[in-house]
Chains A and B, each alone.
Chain A
Amino acid sequence: MIETVLDYASWASILGGLFFMVVGTIGVLRLPDVFTRLHAAGMTDTMGAGLLILGMSFQTVVGIMHGETSYWSVLIRLVFVYAFLMFTSPISTHALARAAIVSGLEPWTNDHEDDA
């Protein structure tokens, strides 16, 4: 019973993660400049990766309930992957935005659109 619930939760998490990932990617393709695109990229990194890894963790928990003890190490590795992504994604986003600002890129505003 609880395995079925976990299976459905895993489905929902992975589909939600895919949704955020695809939406963030479309944003990266369509938004007007680096800084706005960084916003979409950050959404991909937090919600997309987070929900996908959550879904995979539910699957490993189901595997553990079926008696596969080797899945414990898989669960720990998933937590480590998530922790690394959560540490490195904001750092690289911040470094990118700072490098772009230092190099003299002007952030896009609505006024530019009206002038053009």
Chain B
Amino acid sequence: MFVAATIGILASMAIVLVRALLGPTVYDRVMAVNIFGTKTVLLIAVLGFLTDRPEFLDLALVYALINFIGTIAVLKFFAFGDLGLTRRVERGPE
């Protein structure tokens, strides 16, 4: 059963990668990478059960958090052109 789950998740990861490569806008690519990260979390969890070492779920937890932070950071960079630092510097101390 977990072999089937692993193969299914890997197949959908491959399809999402196709969208990340094709994606006409940068938002398609960010979305594809975000979905890829979610699927990676699930893949790590399923692989833990497949190899009878469910402790892998710690890695899945960390990966979920990193994936979220990374998506928000990349989005902020592409939507506003920076991560907020330059504008604060331009505004000056007053």
**Shortest distance in angstroms between B70's beta carbon and chain A's nearest beta carbon?**
10
In the assembled complex, 10 residue pairs joining A and B whose CB atoms fall closer than 8 Å, in A order, are A21-B39, A24-B12, A29-B19, A48-B42, A56-B49, A71-B54, A74-B54, A81-B61, A92-B75, A105-B27
Does A95 reach chain B (CB closer than 8 Å)? yes
Structural contact, A25 and B57, CB atoms closer than 8 A: no
Structural contact, B34 and A10, CB atoms closer than 8 A: no
CA of A98 to CA of B35, assembled, Å: 17
Given A21-B8, A52-B46, A56-B49, A38 and B31 contact (CB-CB distance below 8 Å): yes
Structural contact, A60 and B61, CB atoms closer than 8 A: no
- Bin chain A's interface residue count: 35 or more
Chain B residue numbers with a CB within 8 Å of A105 are 25, 27
Q: Give chain B interface residues in 20-50, CB to chain A under 8 Å.
A: 25, 27-28, 30-32, 34-35, 38-39, 41-42, 45-46, 49
How many A-B pairs have beta carbons closer than 8 Å: the answer is 129
Q: Chain A 4-48 against B: per-residue CB contact (8 Å), 1 yes, 0 no? A: 000000110011011001101110110000100110010011001
Q: Chain A 71-102 against B: per-residue CB contact (8 Å), 1 yes, 0 no? A: 10010011011001100110110011011101
Our pick among B2, B12, B27, B31 for the contact of A22 (Cβ within 8 Å) is B12
Q: Which applies to chain A's interface (DSSP): helix, strand, loop or mixed? A: helix
User: Could you say which of B25, B39, B64 has the most chain A C-beta atoms within 10 Å of its C-beta?
Assistant: B64
**Shortest distance in angstroms between B54's beta carbon and chain A's nearest beta carbon?**
4
Does B18 reach chain A (CB closer than 8 Å)? yes
CA of A97 to CA of B32, assembled, Å: 13
Chain A residue numbers with a CB within 8 Å of B18 are 29
Chain A residue numbers with a CB within 8 Å of B67 are 88
Our pick among B2, B41, B75 for the contact of A95 (Cβ within 8 Å) is B75
Structural contact, B64 and A99, CB atoms closer than 8 A: no
- Which are the 7 A-B pairs with shortest beta-carbon distances? A99-B79, A25-B12, A88-B68, A77-B57, A18-B8, A74-B54, A100-B27
